Chains A and B, each alone.
Chain A
Amino acid sequence: MRRTLVASLACGLAGLLLAGCGLGDVVEPDAPVPGTTLPANFPAPVYAPDANPPTAAAFGLGRSLFYDVRLSRDGSVSCGSCHQQFVAFANADHRLSHGVANRLGTRNAPALQNLRWKSEFFWDGGPKNLETLPLAPLTNPLEMDETLPRVLARLNADADYPRRFAAVYGAGPIDSYQFLRALAQYTAALTSANSRYDKVVRGEAGAVLTAGEGRGRVLVAQKCASCHATDLFTDETYRNNGLSATFEADSGRAHITRRTTDVGRFKVPSLRNVALTAPYMHDGRFATLAQVLAHYDHGVVASPTLDPALRPAGIPLTATEEADIIAFLHTLTDDSFIHDVRLAAQP
């Protein structure tokens, strides 16, 4: 009798323990969350998957939030408005980002890709963690012009979100921790590593570069890789690439550090998907890759903080070299990334 009691108690406890474990981690464990597998040719990530272990339910929640216009004050723009999948989550045809009420931002919306590998974000490196980054566009008056308390109130009053958050994070009102962690599940998943270049590098069957693309690859390694380094094609540093002598319109990194030595320095963008992400530079001044290369060939403007790699006179390139480099840059286009339906807004 006594033994039975103990046994049934033990059973009950085990049951409780199992139920307790089930809440966070066992939501559709096998459902494929994009970006969970880290590419073999990439360095170690900054925001490792175990920092916010991907689950299908949390990822889906983050995706809903990313495409939800109710994150903006007047319900007119979502994260996805300025970060469009078909151009690698940059903003097609816009020199500068557009916010609520058609307000014009001050910089070109960057592509969102491989964010797991960044410790600082934006052209100036102001935001310093993938999870807190969305607070900047959310509250910027020229972007979403909203407040965190108002967004949380709206999500909590929604017909659907409270149930979906509770399924992932347990019962209770949706709070900033849950909101930002869910959004980070989506943004961390935006991994682009399946371009033809990647397949060649990884020795995947059937992947080759043409002769011109191959020459371009060598030229990029010789002339561009001091900034566009590693297979991420950026070293994540801040550089003055000679767009201005004074940078009165935008001091770049100096806006954050207040150091005169940082005036005119901007985050080196990745070259991945660069054929898709026109216009180029922090202010979107160049419409084509040819214009970008022309700048490095003969457009670089001297100033005290001009990057040493561009002294004394930019990067001289012949017309053939420019053509080869552009051919190579097109091999960095990742079609599977821009067509991955799991990353698209869901009906």
Chain B
Amino acid sequence: MKRFSISALFCTLTLATLALAGCKKDEVVAAPPTVSLEFEQTVGADLLVLDTKTYTTLAGDQFRISIFRQYISNIVFTKTDGSTYAVPDSYYLLDAAKPDSRHLTLTGVPAGDYKGITFTIGVDSVHNVSGVQKGALDPNNNMFWTWNSGYIFTKLEGYSAQSTTSALTFHIGGFKAPNNTIRTVSPAFPSGMTLLVRADHSPEIHLNVDLLKLFSGPSTIRFATLSDVQSPGSNAVKVANNYAAGMYSVEHIHAN
């Protein structure tokens, strides 16, 4: 009996200590939920391998890729009731050469049932003119045009025998009409699939990023006639229209 009282007292003290600790730190009970985004870059059915692997476009041009970087930003989740949650300050540079850059962990997504995700491929116009910025938008990331300032949204460099110079240089950007290349996409979740965000329940969305879609879609790009895009313009718009039409797809969702 006495023993019990002591352990009860100990228990009370422990709880009190925990409660006090809770006042000082924000997290008390459970870790807040996170949502992870995993971007898998492929070229058609093949995984993207830089430099060494040769791929073929749907139109039959052969090519290799040495650099592939792409901004995604302004991530928005849509609940099953139609309401939305915009992830604040969501600017990310997905770099084929940096596996970590293709795994995003988002904190602060409110608990709920979600039916969709929307994001921008590129950087919104405000952030193209907002002065020097940090993080993914640091101009030191070599994704910023200086003479006609604004971000390069998608950068692909490589080689193709079909290119007249043998080089491929696709720097896609531009945020002003008529050559605006900002594109917003909403790759559909697998049919019937809902993203459940709960305390202690951190789902993961796997997205496929198919680089072949840069060169096919509304416009077929043949490297013999177009292999060098380094400024905003109609050629950049062609490529952006292509990749907005199906480059990103949701492959599957891990419930937890």
Nearest CB of chain B from residue A38's CB, rounded to whole Å: 19
**Interface-side segment among A20-28, A76-84, A126-134, A157-165:** A126-134
A176-B147 in contact given A128-B128, A132-B132 (Cβ < 8 Å): no
**Contact indicator B130/A136 (Cβ below 8 Å):** no
How would you classify the secondary structure of chain A's contact residues: helix, strand, loop or mixed? helix
Q: Which residues 144-179 of B sit at the A interface, judged by CB distance below 8 A?
A: 144, 146-150, 176, 178-179
**CB pair B132 A131 closer than 8 Å:** yes
| B105 within 8 A of partner (CB) | no
Closest to A257 in B: B176
- Chain B nearest CB from A112 CB (Å) reads 17
- Beta-carbon contact of A132 and B144 below 8 Å: yes
Tell me which of A51, A152, A177 has the highest count of chain B C-beta atoms within 10 A of its own C-beta.
A177
Interface size class of A (residues with CB under 8 A): 20 to 34
Per the CB 8 Å criterion, the residue count for chain B at the interface is: 22
Q: Could you say which of B131, B147, B232, B234 contacts A131, with CB atoms under 8 Å apart?
A: B131
Assembly CA distance A175 to B148 (angstroms): 22
> Which A115-161 residues have C-beta < 8 A from chain B?
119, 126-133, 135-136, 138-140, 148-149, 152
Are A258 and B131 in contact, with the CB atoms below 8 A?
no
Stretch at the interface among B82-90, B134-142, B215-223: B134-142
- Evaluate contact between B146 and A139: CB separation under 8 angstroms: yes
Q: A9 at interface (Cβ–Cβ under 8 A)?
A: no
Q: How far is the CA of A124 from the CA of B145 in the complex (A)?
A: 15
**Complex Cα spacing A30 to B134, Å:** 29
For residue A256, CB closer than 8 A to chain B, the reply is: yes
Interface pair A258/B132, CB less than 8 Å apart: no
Given A148-B140, A149-B140, A152-B140: A135 in contact with B130 (beta carbons within 8 A): no
Decide if A196 is an interface residue (CB 8 Å cutoff): no
Q: Shortest beta-carbon distance, A329 to chain B, in Å?
A: 31
Given A51-B131, A131-B131, A181-B132, A176 and B148 contact (CB-CB distance below 8 Å)? no
Which of B134, B139, B149, B150 is within 8 Å of A148, CB to CB? B139
- Nearest B residue to A181 by beta-carbon distance? B132
At the interface, yes or no: B203 with Cβ under 8 Å from chain A?
no
Interchain CB contact (< 8 A) of A180 among B128, B132, B233: B132
Residue of A whose beta carbon sits closest to that of B148: A126
Whether B138 contacts A177 by the Cβ 8 Å rule is yes
Contact call A126/B134, Cβ cutoff below 8 A: no
Least Cβ distance of A132 to chain B in Å? Answer: 5
CB distance from B181 to the nearest CB of A (A): 13
Are B149 and A128 neighbours in the complex by a CB distance under 8 Å? Answer: yes
What 0/1 readout, one digit per residue, does chain B (228-256) give for beta carbons within 8 Å of chain A? 00001110000000000000000000000
In the complex, the answer to whether B232 meets A129 with C-beta atoms within 8 Å is no
B56 within 8 A of A: no
- Chain B residues with Cβ under 8 A from A177's Cβ? 132-134, 138
CB within 8 A of B131: which of A130, A139, A140, A256? A130
With A136-B146, A136-B147, A258-B233 known to touch, is A129 a contact of B140 (CB < 8 Å)? no
Provide the residues of chain A in CB contact with B147, threshold 8 Å: 126-127, 136, 140
Question: What are the residues of chain A within 8 A of B148 when measuring CB–CB?
Answer: 126, 255-256
Whole-angstrom distance between the alpha carbons of A255 and B149 in the complex?
13
For A125, the closest partner residue in chain B by CB is B148
Q: How far is A126 from B232 in the complex, measured between Cα atoms in Å?
A: 12
**Which residue of chain B has its CB nearest to the CB of A129?**
B131
Is B144's CB under 8 angstroms from A258's CB? no
Q: Is B19 an interface residue (CB 8 A)?
A: no
> Which residue of the partner chain B has the closest CB to A131?
B131
Contact of A258 with B138 in the complex, beta carbons under 8 Å: no
Question: Within 8 Å CB of B128, what residues of A?
Answer: 128
The chain B residue sitting closest to A124, CB to CB, is B148
* Chain A 285-328 near chain B by CB (<8 Å), digits 1 or 0: 00000000000000000000000000000000000000000000
Q: Contact partner of B140 among A119, A126, A175, CB < 8 A?
A: A175
Q: A129-B131, A132-B144, A175-B140 are known; give 4 further A-B pairs, CB within 8 A.
A: A129-B149, A135-B139, A135-B146, A148-B140
B residues near A (Cβ < 8 Å) are: 128-134, 138-140, 144, 146-150, 176, 178-179, 232-234
Question: Can you spell out 28 A-B residue pairs with CB atoms less than 8 angstroms apart?
Answer: A119-B129, A126-B148, A127-B147, A128-B128, A129-B130, A129-B149, A132-B139, A132-B144, A135-B146, A135-B149, A136-B147, A136-B149, A138-B146, A140-B147, A148-B139, A148-B140, A152-B140, A175-B134, A175-B140, A176-B132, A176-B139, A177-B134, A177-B138, A180-B131, A256-B148, A257-B176, A258-B233, A258-B234
